[in-house]
């Protein structure tokens, strides 16, 4: 939308900086300049268009002057936020080709970096080879694209599948997950709702009881708290209460957990909450391949499925098998990395900490096995026990709160089923036991860190 | 405060589109005061937008530009002790309540001198001293809260009112109607102010609402309402006066639909493709709340260009000071991560 001049009250040249336009944006593409060098600009003029993976936005001048120099040409990809992209000279000043001096903010404060870097993670090592036929072609795509493809494929396959939620149709999704679906399937099957979560979640449950297969998108799961009663009391319990007559094949999906700097009411991890409830299935994919395969399975599942995505992962790229109908079964964990010294159990965005920690640990001579749970309910306890039998040690990693968290559950299951194999107590790495703070430094502290995982692993390995 | 038991005479709601040709008028002092207050919000928000682009503000940042007349006009009739509560689009409300621009801006940059010590950010600020109750991120949630604040007023028997602001999108949340029912049932002194800026994110009112006249949303609860030209600060003030008189008189709640417009995207990351540039331009050129006052002052020879320029300069200086403070203040102490989770008086065990 706009930029970014430190706007000194003098006539000196100022840099136009690549603006940050969303909580998670770190870079973008400079699509097009709408002004040339030498053009005069007035405050409010659109001078360029930039593109992020979510949207195309316009950069507006915030001061009057003329474009002295364009520093980043049309079509440049991956321009980091705050890179000078042009110089605007004040009125009456001659165009200078130098980057304007003194135009940095008075004190360059540490930039609020998102707690989890955006760099695409390496492709998972441990995709279960047995699941893919020899020579299966792979294609690189983002989690965002994988989710969209999953929905589109299922909507083509089954006429009863439809999607319902805020901004899913004309806006193409608040996080662009439903991009293109309105065009292909029309307004009958891609339905924009008013902001009435409790109402439309209940409506989705009713439609599912009546035999349709709704995908209910919550703009984020923070807003699903408005709808909690319908999810738990209506969706999760009706099959049981009806003695098995009245199933509810609905998928509730959307981003869960912390994004970046959006503070307490928009940054909660609901993994433990939903996984507490019998009658629900709870899926938390990490890779694009799993996001696609698990979402397709969730849509076909005859039960209510809570499908917890993560905004920061939406832009991450992974290899996805190019097969006709890529399904990943619900309830089966994946060994993401084989190792012998310790088992790190995680899921969703927690995997980013686990993978980085494993790389660091390898350098220190510790060979970690990483188990990506993928589904929290039903939980693949057998896979956890199997791995711990081999390693004798376990560290769990999640962004959610510690009390009654997923790590607490895993610890209990290991006590019950693998006590004799444990060589050290299980250690939990979790988000801190506080609401999410806004300040950049506090937010970082509130989330788990790679260093905490490394330390925990060393502790259980007595190193 | 005892609700009258005689039949209630409702304030005659004005029908249809507001903007009466012969609007209520302001004295020179009122015009200047409105000008100054609205300009403060406008300049503050412009700088907040720039600071977001520079990465000094993170997360979500919802600007109030275009809607300044609403909160300004309402606050012109507020009296000591009246409370205000609103959504995440809250910077303007805080400034209008008299909160310090330095503390607001420092909260936006996540610094220790911010109103919430840097822990709340743009969407979550509060001031007990200024009776500002937030700053709420969940669409519609402030409506029952505002109703509860009004409940406390009635419980205490004072004659304060709670100004409860929410958007056209929020007006579709179920809890709004649960609140309406209780407020009327118990005659609570709450002014529900619907800031109808025509869009909830990318969804226009006509695409989300079966009944687009929000002043009528209380009809089935017997709550009166009126539509107000929310771009004209005089009309806002006059309506707010009628509404507060109604509430202070023990008649229960009232609804004001403020017809307004936001110039900027929903938040900083909104490409705003759901409306035309011409639509925005037309509102800016023909209905700008600040420009209206300016033109009246100048054409009525109530103020000179120079006088207005002096106000401009003063406002700019205030904002510059806030920006300076907010960019240099320290981040919160890391130990703050653990404080304020529970009240110290009850945090035992
Ligand atoms: C319960 C809930 N649902 C969805 C959202 C996401 N959201 C934030 S603002 C918004 C639009 C609200 O529009 P409106 O009430 O008209 O207020 P405006 O933003 O126009 O001031 C939405 C959908 C939210 N914060 N809370
Ligand atoms: Mg609105």
Q: Is the pLDDT of residue A275 over 80?
A: yes
Residue nearest to atom 8 of ligand 1 (CA): B139
**Confidence class for position B22, pLDDT limits 50, 70, 90:** low
Q: Please name the residue of chain B whose CA is at the shortest distance from the CA of residue A21.
A: B269
Average pLDDT over residues A11-21: 77
Which residue would you say has higher pLDDT here, B200 or A96? Answer: B200
Instruction: Tell me the chain B residues in contact with residue A164 when contact means C-beta distances shorter than 8 Å.
Output: none
Confidence of residue A18 (pLDDT cuts 50, 70, 90): confident
Backbone angles phi, psi at B167, to 5 degrees: -90, 170
Position with higher pLDDT, B9 vs B30: B30
Residues of chain A contacting residue B109, judged by C-beta atoms under 8 Å apart: 109
pLDDT at A6: 42
- Testing ligand 1's pocket by substitution, the residue of B67, B138, B169, B214 carrying the most ligand atoms inside 8 A of its CB is B169
Q: What is the pLDDT of residues A403-414, one digit of tens each?
A: 999 999 999 999
pLDDT tens digit sequence for A48-90: 888 877 677 778 777 778 888 999 999 898 898 888 898 888 7
pLDDT in the model for residue A130: 46
pLDDT in tens, A206-255: 999 999 999 999 999 999 999 999 999 999 999 999 999 999 999 999 99
The DSSP symbol for A191 reads E
Cα A455 → chain centroid: 25
Could you say which of 3.90.1170.20, 3.40.50.970, 3.20.20.150, 3.40.50.920 is the CATH number of the domain covering B26-328?
3.40.50.970
Neighbours of A451 (CB within 10 A): 12
Query: Of A3, A5, A26, which Cα lies nearest the Cα of A104?
Result: A5
Q: Kindly report, residue by residue over B236-266, the tens digit of the pLDDT.
A: 999 999 999 999 999 999 999 999 999 999 9
Q: Is B82 in the pocket of ligand 1 (CB under 6 A)?
A: no
**DSSP character for B336?**
G
pLDDT given at position A127: 43
- For residue A296, what pLDDT band results from cuts at 50, 70 and 90? very high
Residue of A nearest to B203 (CA): A167
- Which of the four pLDDT bands, split at 50, 70 and 90, describes residue A101? very low
Q: Is the pLDDT of residue A335 over 80?
A: yes
Helix (H, G, I), strand (E, B), or coil: what is residue A27? strand
The pairing of strands B132-136 and B83-87 is: parallel
**Out of A449-458, B3-12, B119-128, which region has the weakest mean confidence (pLDDT)?**
B3-12
Prior bond to B135 cis, omega within 30?
yes
% of chain A at pLDDT higher than 90: 72
Q: How confident is the model at residue A131 (pLDDT cuts 50, 70, 90)?
A: low
Using pLDDT thresholds of 50, 70 and 90, give the confidence band for residue A107: very low
DSSP-assigned letter for residue A62: S
Instruction: Return the SS3 of A323.
Output: coil
Q: Which residue shows structure tokens 């209780």?
A: B182
State pLDDT tens for residues B132-189: 999 999 999 999 999 999 999 999 999 999 999 999 999 999 999 999 999 999 999 9
3-class DSSP assignment, residue B66: coil
Write down the pLDDT at residue A44.
Answer: 66
Note the ipTM here.
0.91
Residue B140 confidence (pLDDT) = 98
> Which pair of tokens denotes residue A384?
């956890």
Report which protein residue has its CA nearest ligand 1's atom 5: B139
Q: Report the pLDDT value the prediction gives residue A113, as an integer from 0 to 100.
A: 38
Say if residue A91's pLDDT is above 80.
no
Q: How confident is the model at residue B11 (pLDDT cuts 50, 70, 90)?
A: low
Asked if residues B81 and B35 have their Cβ atoms less than 8 Å apart, the reply is no
- Asked whether residue B199 carries a pLDDT value surpassing 90, the answer given is yes
Among partner residues A81, A263, A445, which is closest to B120 by beta-carbon distance? A263
| pLDDT for position B314 | 98
Identify the sign of the CA torsion B54, B56, B62, B67.
negative
Cα A55 vs. chain centroid, distance in angstroms? 16
Report how far ligand 1's centroid is from the alpha carbon of B120 (Å): 18
Residues in CB range of A172: below 8 A, 6 or more apart:
A178, A179, A180, A182
What is the percentage of chain B residues whose pLDDT exceeds 90?
90
Query: How many angstroms separate the alpha carbon of residue A194 from the centre of ligand 1?
Result: 10
What's the mean pLDDT when you consider all of chain A? 89
Using pLDDT thresholds of 50, 70 and 90, give the confidence band for residue B9: low
Q: Is the pLDDT of residue A26 over 90?
A: no
What is the rounded average pLDDT of the residues A334-346? 98
The pLDDT assigned to B12 comes to 53
Q: Is the CB of residue A277 less than 8 Å from the CB of residue A236?
A: yes
Burial (CB count <10 Å: 0-12, 13-18, 19+), residue A403: exposed
- From the list B270, B316, B84, the residue with the least C-alpha distance to B191 is B84
Under DSSP, the state recorded for A99 is P
Task: Please give the pLDDT value at position A92.
Answer: 53
Give residue B346's pLDDT.
80
Q: Which two tokens stand for residue A20?
A: 């940050």
Can you give the pLDDT at residue A459?
Answer: 98
Q: Which residues of chain B lie closer than 8 angstroms to A171, CB-CB?
A: 201-203, 274
Atom 12 of ligand 1 has which residue's CA nearest to it? Answer: B200
Is the pLDDT at A126 greater than 50, yes or no?
no
Lowest model confidence (mean pLDDT) among A68-72, A78-82, A373-377, B194-198: A78-82
Q: What does the alpha-carbon distance between residue A410 and residue A170 come to, in Å, rounded to a whole number?
A: 42
- A235 in Cβ contact with A246 (< 8 Å): no
**Ligand 1 centroid distance, CA of A262 (Å):** 14
d(CA A250, CA A409): 26
Residue A302: both structure tokens together: 């005859």
Nearest-Cα distance to chain B for A309, in Å, is: 19
Is the pLDDT at A111 greater than 60? The verdict is no
Higher pLDDT, A20 or A438: A438
């Amino acid at each position: 939308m706009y930029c970014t001049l430190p706007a000194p009250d003098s006539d000196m040249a100022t840099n136009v900086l690549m603006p940050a336009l969303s909580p998670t944006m770190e870079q973008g593409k400079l699509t097009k300049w709408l002004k040339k060098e030498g053009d005069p600009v007035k405050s409010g003029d659109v001078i360029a268009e930039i593109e992020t993976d979510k949207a195309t936005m316009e950069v507006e001048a915030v001061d009057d002057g003329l474009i002295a120099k364009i520093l980043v040409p049309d079509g440049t990809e991956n321009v980091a936020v705050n890179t000078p992209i042009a110089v605007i000279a004040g009125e009456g000043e001659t165009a200078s080709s130098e980057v304007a001096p003194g135009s940095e903010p008075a004190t360059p404060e540490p930039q609020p970096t998102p707690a989890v870097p955006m760099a695409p993670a390496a492709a998972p090592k441990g995709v279960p080879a047995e699941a893919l036929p020899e020579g299966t072609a792979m294609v690189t795509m983002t989690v965002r694209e994988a989710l969209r493809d999953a929905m589109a494929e299922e909507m083509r396959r089954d006429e009863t599948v439809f999607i319902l939620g805020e901004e899913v149709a004309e806006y193409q999704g608040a996080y662009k997950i439903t991009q293109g679906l309105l065009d292909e399937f029309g307004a009958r099957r891609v339905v924009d709702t008013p902001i009435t979560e409790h109402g439309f979640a209940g409506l989705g449950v009713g439609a599912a009881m009546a035999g349709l297969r709704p995908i209910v998108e919550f703009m984020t799961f923070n807003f699903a708290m408005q709808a909690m009663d319908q999810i738990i009391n209506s969706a999760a319990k009706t099959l049981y209460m009806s003695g098995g007559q009245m199933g509810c094949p609905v998928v509730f999906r959307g981003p869960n957990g912390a994004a970046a700097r959006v503070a307490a009411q928009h940054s909660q991890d609901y993994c433990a909450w939903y996984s507490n409830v019998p009658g629900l299935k709870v899926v938390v994919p990490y890779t694009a391949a799993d996001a696609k395969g698990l979402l397709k399975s969730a849509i076909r599942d005859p039960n209510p499925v809570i499908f917890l995505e993560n905004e920061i992962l939406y832009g991450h790229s992974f290899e996805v098998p190019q097969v006709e109908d890529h399904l990943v079964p619900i309830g089966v964990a994946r060994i993401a990395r084989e190792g012998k010294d310790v088992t790190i159990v995680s899921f969703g965005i927690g995997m980013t900490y686990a993978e980085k920690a494993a790389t660091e640990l390898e350098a220190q001579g510790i060979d970690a096995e990483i188990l990506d749970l993928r589904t929290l309910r039903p939980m693949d306890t057998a896979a956890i026990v199997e791995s711990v039998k081999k390693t004798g040690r376990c560290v769990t990693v999640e962004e959610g709160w510690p009390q009654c968290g997923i790590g607490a559950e895993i610890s209990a299951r290991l006590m019950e089923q693998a006590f004799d194999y444990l060589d050290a107590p299980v250690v939990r790495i979790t988000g801190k036991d506080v609401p999410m703070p806004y300040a950049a430094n506090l937010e970082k502290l509130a989330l788990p860190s790679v260093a905490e995982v490394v330390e925990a692993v060393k502790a259980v390995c007595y190193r | 405060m005892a609700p009258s038991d005689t039949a209630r005479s409702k304030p005659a709601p004005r029908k249809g589109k507001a903007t009466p040709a012969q609007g209520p008028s302001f004295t020179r002092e009122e015009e200047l005061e409105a000008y100054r207050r609205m300009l403060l919000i406008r300049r503050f928000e412009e700088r907040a937008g720039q600071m977001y682009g520079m990465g000094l503000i993170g997360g979500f940042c919802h600007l109030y530009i275009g809607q300044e007349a609403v909160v300004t006009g309402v606050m012109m009739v507020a009296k000591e002790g009246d409370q205000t509560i609103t959504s995440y689009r809250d910077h303007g409300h805080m400034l209008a309540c008299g909160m310090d621009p330095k503390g607001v801006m420092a909260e936006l940059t996540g610094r220790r001198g911010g109103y919430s010590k840097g822990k709340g950010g743009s969407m979550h600020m509060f001031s007990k001293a200024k009776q500002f109750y937030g700053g709420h991120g969940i669409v519609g949630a402030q409506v029952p809260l505002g109703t509860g604040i009004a409940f406390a007023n009635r419980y205490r028997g004072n004659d304060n009112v709670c100004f409860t602001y929410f958007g056209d999108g929020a007006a579709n949340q179920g809890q709004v109607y649960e609140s309406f029912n209780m407020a009327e049932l118990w005659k609570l002194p709450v002014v529900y102010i619907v800031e109808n800026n025509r869009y909830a994110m990318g969804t226009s009112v006509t695409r989300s609402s079966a009944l687009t006249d929000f002043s009528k949303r209380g009809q089935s609860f017997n709550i009166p309402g009126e539509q107000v030209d929310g771009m004209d600060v005089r009309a806002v003030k006059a309506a707010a006066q009628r509404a507060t008189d109604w509430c202070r008189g023990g008649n229960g709640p009232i609804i004001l639909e403020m017809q307004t417009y936001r110039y900027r995207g929903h938040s900083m990351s909104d490409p705003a493709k759901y409306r035309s540039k011409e639509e925005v331009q037309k509102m800016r050129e023909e209905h700008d709340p600040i420009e209206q006052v300016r033109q009246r002052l100048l054409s009525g020879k109530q103020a000179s260009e120079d006088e207005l320029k002096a106000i401009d300069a003063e406002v700019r200086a205030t904002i510059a000071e806030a920006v300076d403070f907010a960019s240099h203040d320290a981040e919160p102490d890391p130990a703050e991560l653990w404080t304020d989770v529970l009240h110290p008086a009850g945090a035992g065990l």
